[in-house]
Amino acid sequence: MRGVVVYSAPAKVYLSGEHAVVYNKRAVAVGIDLRTTVRLERSDNFHYQTNADTRYLEEAVNAFSSIKAVDGVEIKVESEIPVGAGLGSSAAVTVATLGALNEEFDANLSKEDIAKLAFEVERSIQGVASPTDTFVSTMGGCVLVPDLLRIQDTLDCAIVIGDTRTVGSTKKLVQAVKELRSSEPEVIDLIFDAIDRITAAVIEWLEAADYKRLGMLMNINHGLLDAIGVGSLELSALVDGARSHGAYGAKITGAGGGGCIVAICEAKKVAQVVEGIEEAGGKAIVADVSGDGLRKVVG
Ligand code: PMV
């Protein structure tokens, strides 16, 4: 008799390149150790238990059903990832669900197959999406997009996230940037090119473990995200709070409009940066890189 199959998948932050990545520019994203856990067992019907959007579960089961028939499943989701905050909560739930289905129904999908299928699920729900969230959540570590290459396992500095506790709609923000680009194509394309160059330098300073320069690039990237209209007063306040309390750099992560910022700093400055973010009205979350992406939870 089969029991419950449990899989988990991580959240992510962008070190550089969100929005520009929609136009095929480069981005670097990192899996972080906030996880979504999915418990799945066979059932004679379909039951989904989650405090977030059930569409990702339904669509993941639908997409998987084109590979192996699924008569019924019960899925329970527990998540440490704030929803709608730019940390990739929907990708994590999709990836973890596909991982559990893969095992329960012996589909023999590779991690690459799961990442691709998860991307199709996200795209079918969100309309526009880059494969960043689903790929990072499946593979973990530090990933270059659109190449979909894992360029590093970890970072040798601390990551502090600041949640504004406001929500931004990725779909609306991507649409707003598209409209801005239609109206001022030359200006916006120059900004996207600059972001692409920032990502090229991010790769270099990551490899050299020069976090001071990496932080400076994050600051420049933040300014450019503001320039294309995806900033907010709350996001700027948290960025300022982190920087003025000793972070190497800080920027919006994800679609913007609300959601989170990401800061990097020396390990010994974490408490200070947390204080800076909280004084500015945010919720600070100290995160480590998750070298693991999708993984089976045993016991
Ligand atoms: O807010 P998130 O985590 O969904 O990130 C959105 C990032 C964009 O580049 C704006 C869109 C995308 O799908 O890459």
pLDDT digits (tens, 9 = 90+) for 221-238: 999 999 999 999 999 999
Given this model, what pLDDT does residue 51 score?
86
Instruction: Select from 174, 177, 180 the residue to mutate for testing ligand 1; criterion: most ligand atoms less than 8 Å from CB.
Output: 174
Please tell me whether 162 is known to bind a ligand: no
Given this model, what pLDDT does residue 168 score?
86
Work out the burial of residue 45: count CB atoms within 10 Å of its CB; fewer than 13 is exposed, 13-18 middle, 19 or more buried. exposed
User: Does 270 fall in a domain?
Assistant: yes
Report the alpha-carbon distance of residue 159 to residue 78 in Å, rounded.
23
Residues 92 and 22 in one domain: yes
Confidence of residue 130 (pLDDT cuts 50, 70, 90): confident
Quick: pLDDT tens for 156-166: 999 999 999 99
Does residue 181 carry a pLDDT above 80?
yes
Does residue 1 carry a pLDDT above 70?
no
Tell whether ligand 1 has an atom less than 6 A from the beta carbon of residue 18: yes
Domain with 211 in it: 158-287
Q: Which atom of ligand 1 is nearest to the CA of 18?
A: 9
Tell whether ligand 1 has an atom less than 6 A from the beta carbon of residue 143: no
Residues 56 and 184 in one domain: no
Average pLDDT, the chain: 95
CATH, residue 111: 3.30.230.10
Given this model, what pLDDT does residue 2 score?
66
Tell whether ligand 1 has an atom less than 6 A from the beta carbon of residue 12: no
Does residue 149 carry a pLDDT above 90?
yes
